[in-house]
Structure 1
């Protein structure tokens, strides 16, 4: 009896591509630090208040090959589709066997193949869950990088204003009310810098919590996949019909 495949599992196992909507979080951070040519100098000024260069700190916190990480989502999904294709082949073959083979052995075989098909479908669902969690983490980090880039831009703007105010007060010899106003403006800009730095820390902590939650799901799902793989042992020997 011929058992033509209903699907081609290997066709699903293609090299994963990076999603079109992928956004590297480090690019947003680097771009924010390069807005002004003297940006590096301004960021060194920030270290006087923050003890760290905000761009370098952000790059350290979000370091990683996020492009490859984004591709992992499709790799898991492709593996799931391959399992689904194998399930379709098992189902198609089982139906052909059921149409021509009767008896207790046939019933046992059909039950086994049906359990195997369901097992493969469950594995596909678990692999799809893994793919989704990788996607969620990638998008979360990308949004974090963009938000932090905005914080760094605000810090640089405040540093520019602070530098201009300080330079003007010195060059013009401000005294009295003018000097007080200059100091007030400087204090406001310093407050902006500290607030944006605090916001950066909050953003990184939130991203870490989101990643930890996804990793917990991945760990649990990975355990489920292994359990499914071992739940249905392969037959020890091939079936040998006594009448053949």
Structure 2
């Protein structure tokens, strides 16, 4: 008998599209760099209070082609759909065999193909979960980048205020209460900078934890897929139907 596929698995094996609802984590940092040079004197002022230049440090922590990483989520799921399509074709072929072939050999073949279908469905589900994990990690990094961009913007605002206050104190020759107010404002803005730095480090720590957790899940899923593929028995030899 002639078998006809009910679906073409290769239809799913196409390049992934641009990820939706994903923002490159470095875009927020690049926006700050458009406003001022990361190596300029303005952020050097921040380095007097912080261990490192906040923009350069954040860029190092979030470096990578995260847009390409986010695309992997769809690639994994497309491969899963291709496996699901092969499973549907195997199921359709099994129904055709059942209509035209009887006997012990036929029953054994049908059991084998049904087991193969289930195995492919399991692989499809695993690859779909793999895609979900990739998407979750990419989204976590994306949100972290946006949050850190907010932290750096707050630092820049504080630095601007400090600079203006210091310049006004010097230019106007403030003394007494006026000078004390100027110094108090500077101290408050310094606290803002330190607070935002602490928030940045916590955000990076949480993102790293999310990445590590995601990788652990991905490793487990990958192990499941390989175990299913390696455990599935392949036919030892081809079968020659006596009537053919």
The answer on whether the counterparts of 1:5 and 1:92 sit within 8 Å (CA) in structure 2 is: yes
Q: Distance in 1 between matches of 2:20 and 2:112?
A: 42
> Displacement, 1:39?
8.9
Q: Distance in 1 between matches of 2:178 and 2:186?
A: 12
Please show how residues 19-58 of structure 1 align to structure 2 within 5 Å. Answer: 19-35=19-35, 40-58=40-58
Q: Distance in 2 between matches of 1:7 and 1:72?
A: 24
* TM-score (structure 2 length as normaliser): 0.96
Provide the residue aligned with 1:63 in structure 2.
Answer: 63
34-43 vs 12-21, which moves further: 34-43
Q: Distance in 2 between matches of 1:161 and 1:232?
A: 67
The answer on whether the counterparts of 2:38 and 2:55 sit within 8 Å (CA) in structure 1 is: no
Q: Distance in 1 between matches of 2:228 and 2:159?
A: 57
> Displacement, 1:104?
0.8
The answer on whether the counterparts of 1:15 and 1:75 sit within 8 Å (CA) in structure 2 is: yes
The answer on whether the counterparts of 1:162 and 1:186 sit within 8 Å (CA) in structure 2 is: yes
Provide the residue aligned with 1:133 in structure 2.
Answer: 133
222-231 vs 26-35, which moves further: 26-35
Stretches of structure 2 lacking an aligned partner (at least 5 in a row): none
Q: Distance in 2 between matches of 1:204 and 1:150?
A: 14
Provide the residue aligned with 2:203 in structure 1.
Answer: 203
Query: Compared with structure 1, are the counterparts of its residues 133 and 38 closer, same or farther at alpha carbon in structure 2 (3 Å cutoff)?
Result: closer
* TM-score (structure 1 length as normaliser): 0.96
The answer on whether the counterparts of 1:26 and 1:62 sit within 8 Å (CA) in structure 2 is: yes
Q: How many residue pairs end up in the alignment?
A: 244
Q: Does 1:98 align with 2:115?
A: no
Stretches of structure 1 lacking an aligned partner (at least 5 in a row): none
Provide the residue aligned with 1:164 in structure 2.
Answer: 164
Query: Compared with structure 1, are the counterparts of its residues 38 and 16 closer, same or farther at alpha carbon in structure 2 (3 Å cutoff)?
Result: closer
Q: Distance in 1 between matches of 2:97 and 2:236?
A: 20
Q: Which runs of 4+ in 1 moved over 4 A?
A: 36-39
The answer on whether the counterparts of 1:94 and 1:113 sit within 8 Å (CA) in structure 2 is: yes
Q: Distance in 1 between matches of 2:241 and 2:192?
A: 82
